[in-house]
Chain A
Amino acid sequence: MNKEQTIEQLKTIVKPYIQNQEAFDVLTEDTDFINDLKINSANLVDVILDIEEKFDIIIDNVSMERMVNVKSAMDIIETKLSEK
């Protein structure tokens, strides 16, 4: 899976939880889940669980700590996929 495909899948995952459509429309690797997309911090768990399901990976607690923006999420997904 290339970067574009990963980011597209990630966008599909976060879409139901975003509260700032404008930031979502211009989403880049630097986009922050909470500060930019205004995802409720309790819903960040859902994002993480959805990523686990969609990519069939397990995000351990240490990785979860970094899950605050698109770039970290992509890094974690790539790393976990490569370990499979």
Chain B
Amino acid sequence: MIGNDIVDLVLAKKESNWRRKGFLNKIFTPKEQLLISNGVNPEVMVWNLWSRKEAAYKIYNRETKIRAYIPLQLECYYGNENFGTVSCNGNMYFTQTVITDEFIHSIAVLKKEYLNAIKTLDYNDKISKTNGIPFIIDERTKNIKPVSISHHGRFWEGVTLFNQSINK
């Protein structure tokens, strides 16, 4: 299982005023808000943490079938700007984040070593959906591989895991 989330930083600036009163309180825990206020670039920290939560939520939602708006229950343990974990109701997800001037992209997986098995999809991959959850069929084994797709503004990212056994 895998989850990802991409934030187009230019679009995010236009769409969201994260400095709005009450905004951070609704979606970030006190510890996370401290990371934001102490951060060298608070805006990048906002979207870094947010994309981690969104990526982790995609796994949580698919595994538990629970659909809810629970940003405060998805708590980030920062680690460093590229690696950390997100916990949610006793579940733990490992996250990897890429930060550029244009976008922030986070991927969440269930075990740390799976971060070494990430395969990026492209437009040629034939992606299907059941109940809104995307997957691809592995050409060699004909097995179903869960994928995660994120689209925001100028950016599209699809990811899956190499190894079939860890897609479960």
Contacts and interface: CB of A to CB of B under 8 A. Distances in A.
Interface of A: 35, 40-46, 48-49, 52, 61, 64-68
Given A42-B12, A68-B67, A49 B132 contact: no
B64 interface: no
Contacts of A65: 68-70, 73
A48 to B, nearest CB: 6
Contacts of A48: 26
Interface residues of B, number: 21
A32 to B, nearest CB: 9
Interface of B: 12, 15-17, 20-23, 26-27, 50, 54, 67-73, 132, 152
A66 B17 CA distance: 23
A61 B74 CA distance: 13
A45 B152 CA distance: 17
Nearest to A34: B69
Given A46-B23, A68-B69, 10 more contacts: A41-B54, A42-B15, A42-B16, A45-B27, A45-B71, A46-B16, A49-B20, A49-B22, A61-B72, A65-B68
Contact of B15 (A43, A64, A66): A43
